[in-house]
Structure 1
């Protein structure tokens, strides 16, 4: 075989027996064969498995594969509760084959590794359960289902556009499944969203493309604060029923906003943190919320109608934050909840220039958070606390909340 032929030789479908190494960010483990790295799904560290290559050519630096046979099982392996989970099947879950407590232990390993590698910090963190699921199942209150050519709703295979028609999803909230969405043929739709909000009582079903999107209500109650929100059914809200409450309670406790202070809420969505901050700083304080989605800002303005100390601005956070600095605006406390890609270098630099006494960073990707942590450290802040929450059981995703303060405040 020539060098050119080798470069284009597909290895998809080839099988090897490998010893599985450490967990990696993304829901797979690392294995090696003949000098190649293979990212293996459906395996556990310490196992010996037969891996089938799912992506890669002979000259690629790394390959992807599925553990199609377990020759030596780890003690934490369990039978997946969902019949759609497994090699070549639904890509929605990564860890159905792992005992729930060990899923959290693996996620903690990933968080620690990302912080050590990207921020140079050794963090002691455990992934904590979030109240509201049923042993890791029946928690997802917002589900977007793909629709195949025959109008059948389902979920996609891992890293594929192929759709697997399903009659249940075990991580979906019961009200989502009880809506009848999975028993309906959705002719002419490319997707269908189902939302089990606090109001209305029945789940809301929204075919995509949609002519009119209904509105839903959410209620958040912590030990010290409560708030009510209304938003578009397709708008952003935390998918785990206990997430919003858990995050707000922790952020308020860590930032301890005081009456009369100025607070900044970046990537504010419909105002979850903005309203909680507003009640803490009171009518003499001020909260500025910045969000890039026009519809979310409209919802946020309506939600904050009884909080005159809250101002919403629509626009890109990096641009809005830079303008604030040029205007000489400062903040005592900051909350940011960016998308999975994180805030980035420019936003982190401007955050440190605000000289806030505390910054709470809510992150759904530990790698992006660790990268941005390095930027904040360089800007004169230190990591005061870090907690991780299992808001997405059975998947590799983990939510982290990091709190930063200026180095000078740490003595």
Structure 2
């Protein structure tokens, strides 16, 4: 491993804490994995959250966030002194911590587990999920149906490498107008010339060859079904429309291009169309601009299949059933729920974002059993009380929260299928359900973000009989 030191190493001296400043290097033993993409280490009693290590390793780290008054420090691995057998060469130089710091700069974010065997990555993610449920999820522990494993997704497409799965990618722009990405928890933007986690269609756009001066952010979406990709350009403040148009003409002719305002979500078509056409579970979906869609090419089918399996298996989803899809987005789950309940049932589809809700209306216009409402989940449920057979809950990373959980329980469903992308907020919400007399009847977890610390969970929650 790299042995080049970029700063003096502070040796551990009994009774003395190393000078707390960014750039100080320390030698530590890497402890257990923690939520957020790092592991826990200690130095003279101080907790350090270390990125780019593996439990059991001895490493040299560089402090990236430190202070005498801080409860903990943060650090990146710059040299591996005793390597784990699970360590592998990083697939992406820009995200390789030891290589990046050897060249005097931090790694880009977004592939913080790229130095770990995929099987070990999934074990670590399972450890995090279990730890969060035990620590935050109340006294119920883990359901008997929990297999203890985070399941692989899409290996047939990426050949077991964990690469080429992202159909969407977000980039920043360097001060010289080149495509870039941020370092973790940093304003520093580093240039990139590839995105190995993205599909071939995203990389074929070759955004790194475009002069992006005047642009602050770039979003790329290339549907897994091979339909026309979309590039969204967020102009920097004061950028003139002519400059944005000049950037657009540098992009491949087969790509649609639009300008967008990240603050408002407003999209202005520049070429082609301002939306993409996605396919999943036998349905077509229009997704406008930066509207939400699962970024792994195989995630929509995997998650829909798991949700419907949970609900069908418990007898909660059937012709004539009354169900709701909450935080429904463009209608991924709504369309499949509508198929299951048929014209004798009903589906309430609730989404807070106006643009995404409009997409859902377009996508579900031919399903008379679906009612689409744009608004906050708790408000809509108060206004439209029903005797639900089941609810599907797919909130943003922050989770549903105590007030929403209370409202869900009060609406009286027989079961709730909860889809989550964050184990901490998921575990917290589970504790609220348990306090209200509900518990986990089923739980599965999926590795739809290989080489990152993220995972997706699908749970079945039912009232305790």
Return the offset for 1:405: 1.1
- 1:110-150 per-residue CA deviation (whole Å, 9 max, x = no partner) reads 00000011113432431001114342111111011111222
Report whether the alignment pairs 1:281 with 2:299. no
RMSD of aligned C-alpha atoms? 1.6
- Map residues 259-408 of structure 1 onto 2, 5 A cutoff: 259-324=319-384, 328-408=385-465
Report whether the alignment pairs 1:227 with 2:283. yes
Partner Cα distance (1:253, 1:301) in 2: 26
Q: Among 177, 185, 193, which residue is 2:203 paired with?
A: 177
Partner Cα distance (2:72, 2:226) in 1: 48
Report whether the alignment pairs 1:31 with 2:41. yes
- 1:303-346 per-residue CA deviation (whole Å, 9 max, x = no partner) reads 0011011011111122222333xxx4221110010000000001
Partner Cα distance (1:233, 1:293) in 2: 12
Contact in 2 for aligned 1:199/1:216 (Cα 8 Å): no
- Describe the SS at the equivalent of 1:229: strand
The residue that corresponds to 1:117 in the other structure is 135
Report whether the alignment pairs 1:85 with 2:83. no
Partner Cα distance (1:89, 1:322) in 2: 47
Partner Cα distance (1:25, 1:344) in 2: 19
Partner Cα distance (2:47, 2:401) in 1: 29
- 1:251-272 per-residue CA deviation (whole Å, 9 max, x = no partner) reads 1111121111111110000111
Partner Cα distance (2:443, 2:225) in 1: 33
Contact in 2 for aligned 1:198/1:217 (Cα 8 Å): no
Partner Cα distance (1:329, 1:355) in 2: 8
Contact in 1 for aligned 2:140/2:439 (Cα 8 Å): no
- 1:169-211 per-residue CA deviation (whole Å, 9 max, x = no partner) reads 1111111011121211112111111111146634322222413
Report whether the alignment pairs 1:97 with 2:115. yes
Q: Among 50, 58, 61, which residue is 1:40 paired with?
A: 50
Partner Cα distance (1:109, 1:144) in 2: 28
- Map residues 50-89 of structure 1 onto 2, 5 A cutoff: 50-87=60-97, 88-89=106-107
Partner Cα distance (2:362, 2:69) in 1: 56
TM-score by length of 2: 0.82
Partner Cα distance (1:92, 1:163) in 2: 13
The residue that corresponds to 2:251 in the other structure is none
Structure 1: 5+ residue stretches without partners: 1-5
Partner Cα distance (2:136, 2:158) in 1: 32
Partner Cα distance (2:57, 2:225) in 1: 46
The residue that corresponds to 1:3 in the other structure is none
Contact in 1 for aligned 2:325/2:393 (Cα 8 Å): yes
Structure 2: 5+ residue stretches without partners: 1-15, 98-105, 236-258, 260-267
- 1:215-250 per-residue CA deviation (whole Å, 9 max, x = no partner) reads 1111113xxxx2111121421100000000000011
Contact in 1 for aligned 2:118/2:451 (Cα 8 Å): yes
4+ runs deviating over 6 angstroms: none
Report whether the alignment pairs 1:237 with 2:289. no
Tell me the matched-pair count. Answer: 395
Partner Cα distance (1:386, 1:201) in 2: 34
Partner Cα distance (2:22, 2:286) in 1: 48
- Describe the SS at the equivalent of 1:37: strand
Q: Among 137, 154, 169, which residue is 1:143 paired with?
A: 169
Partner Cα distance (2:158, 2:167) in 1: 10
Q: Which moved more, 1:368-377 or 1:185-194?
A: 185-194
Return the offset for 1:386: 0.5
TM-score by length of 1: 0.93
The residue that corresponds to 2:194 in the other structure is 168
